[in-house]
Each structure stands twice: as C-alpha cells, then as structure tokens.
Amino acid sequence: MSDHRNRQTGDNEYVCDHCKKRFLSNGNLILHLNIHTDIYKCTECGKCCQSSSHLARHRRSHSGEKPFECTVCNKRFTQSVSLVSHSRIHSGQKPYKCHVCDKAFSESGNLNTHMRVHTGEKPHKCSLCDKSFSRSSSLQTHKLRIHSNSRPCPYCGMLFKIHSELKRHVRSHTDAKPYSCRHCSDCFTWCSQLKTHLLKSHNEGTWFTCDICQMKFSRKQHLKEHVQRHEAVKPYVCSECPKRFCTATELRLHHPVHLGYKQFSCGLCDKQFARKVTVKKHFKKYSVEHGVTGVV
C-alpha cells in the first residue's frame, strides 16, 4: 500500500486518494479504505463499511433490531454510541466545551456546529443559489421554503411536501371533524379525541389510572408523563441551556429556540416565529384584532 501522508502541506495527516478525507494515523486511513472496496458490503443496499463490526451495526438499520435500551425512558437504539449520547439528555452531562466562550454541549457535533459562531464558517451551500449556512438544518429549511414545490398552509404559512399532512394540519385552523362516533352523533378533529370520548361516554376501551391521584388517561404514555410530574422528574435536559423537561416532546418543542432561524410564518402578516404554538397564538390574536373572518 502506498503512503498516503499529505506531503504537500507538511501536515501530519493521511489523505484518502478516493475521497480526499483526512486522518491523523495511517491505521485509520487503512480502515477507512474498506468503504471504497467490496470487503464489507451490505447485501441489502450495497453500502460498504469499514469493518465487520460496522457492517453488523449497519445491518440493524434494515432488520429494525434495537438491542440497546435506555434505563430511564426505555427508548431503544441500534448502536451503543447512540445510547451513550442519548443518556446525556437525562444526566445533563455536557463533556464538550467551547474553548472560546466556555459553552458546553452533550455531543461533539453540536460543539462543532457552535464553533462556526466564532469562525463565521458556513460550509453548507445551497446548490440552487449562492446562499451558505452554518447548519445543515438551516440549509434544508431554506431549500424547503425557497426552492421546493411544497404546499403552504393557507392560514399560517407552514410548509408540507405531502398533501395528506397538510390536510391534517389545516384542521387545527378550521372546524373540520372527520372522526365520528359510531354510538352517537359526536364528531372530532383528532382520532385521539374520539378514543377519549369512547372511554368517557360509552365505556369502550381501557383507562390508564394514576396510582397517586387516581386521575385517568386514555393513553399509557400520557399516564407515564403525568407520573413524572408527581415525582418532579424532568429527565430530558436541553443540550444548549440548563432547562429540563418531563417529556421528549416538550424538549423537542423547546429546541427551535436555539436554532437561530424562524421556520413558521403568519399567513396574514408574514411575521415569523421559531415555534408552531407561538405562530398559532399570534394568528388567532391577529385575526380578532383585524376583524379577519372565516378563520379559527
């Protein structure tokens, strides 16, 4: 095998002749070169991996096997490294620290992205125009909003690629109630509302009861989240700030605050917001204040 050391720059790096990826050791380069051969090739999709262990791990993406389980929230993962990263949500551990501003992160990828705030680097370039972005998520949002043929919600401007998802979303703005009860004339916007109605009004289904306060829930997940509030447990920690949350959904809804862009816009005044719940509140208030009719 030829020496792949980068002699032109003088850096102590080894460069792959195929994809120009750089490595600090020749051993890592040799391991990497396997992805350019058929030595460890997936028979399902044709992807080549660096080693037999990497191939075995990749195959789990096809089989759906998730052998690594979180002991706190029972979420499962295909890779042990994913479980380790996920566990920091519960522990609040942030081992990756910025040497410029001392801000800390739970994942190395988040630190790398954050460093672009200091360097001004914008490596994610739009292939359709000259705009560049520091985050891949910002680039994806840009392509969706500016260059795609996505369908916008006529009420709040939120974009959807799939018509059925847009149709379902529009119900949050209108009086559409497609789920009807087979026992009475009541109709509902969401399937979950119908299930709750069947339990309360017709005793159809199974209640999930809290052992502490006897409060009943139509879904097991809602009971689990409710019990966490009794115990003051907030296992989900934001990787960007000290805030903690009882559920993964609450953490997910909080995260856009740190993304640096506002993906939701009001269909009446074009004002933009980082969170969907905020644009919905604004839309309703704007409609009342300006006498806009035919919207909810």
Can you list the alpha helix ranges (DSSP code H) found in 23-107? Answer: 26-32, 52-63, 80-91
The amino acid present at 18, given as its one-letter code, is H
Beta-bridge mates of residue 151 = 160
Q: How far apart are CA 60 and CA 48, in angstroms?
A: 14
Superfamily of domain 68-147: Classic Zinc Finger (3.30.160.60)
What's the pLDDT tens digit per position in 60-72?
Answer: 777 777 888 888 8
The pLDDT of residue 4: 43
Three-state secondary-structure class, residue 244: strand
Ranking 2-6, 9-13, 67-71, 118-122 by mean pLDDT, the lowest is: 2-6
How would CATH label the architecture of 14-63?
Answer: 2-Layer Sandwich (3.30)
Per-residue model confidence (pLDDT) at position 270: 67
What are the strands, taking DSSP E only, across the chain?
A: 14-15, 22-23, 68-69, 76-77, 96-97, 104-105, 124-125, 132-133, 151-152, 159-160, 179-180, 187-188, 208-209, 216-217, 236-237, 244-245, 264-265, 272-273
Q: Coil, strand or helix: which one is 160?
A: strand
On the question of pLDDT at 5 being above 50, the answer is: no
List pLDDT tens digits, range 86-126: 888 888 888 888 888 888 888 888 888 888 888 888 888 88
Domains 14-63 and 68-147 fall in the same CATH topology: yes
Number of H helices and number of E strands within the chain? 10, 18
Share of the chain above pLDDT 70, in %: 90
Q: What is the mean pLDDT of residues 48-63?
A: 78
The pLDDT of residue 262 is: 65
3-state secondary structure of 13: coil
What does the pLDDT average to over 276-280?
A: 76
Give the integer Cα–Cα distance in Å for 51 and 47: 12
Q: What SS3 state is found at 268?
A: coil
Mean per-residue pLDDT for 122-132? 84
Spans of all domains in the chain? 14-63, 68-147, 179-241
Query: Where is average pLDDT lowest: 163-167, 199-203, 256-260, 270-274?
Result: 256-260
CA atoms within 13 A on the CB side of 174: 12
pLDDT at 184: 92
**pTM to 2 decimal places:** 0.42
Could you give the CA distance from residue 252 to residue 115 in angstroms, rounded to a whole number? 22
Average pLDDT over the chain, rounded to an integer: 79
CATH architecture of 179-241: 2-Layer Sandwich (3.30)
Amino acid 11: pLDDT: 54
- Range 258-274 average pLDDT: 69
pLDDT of amino acid 9: 40
Q: Which residue has the higher pLDDT, 10 or 147?
A: 147
State residue 259's pLDDT score: 66
Predicted pLDDT at 89: 80
Inform me whether the pLDDT recorded for 295 exceeds 60: no
3-state secondary structure of 236: strand
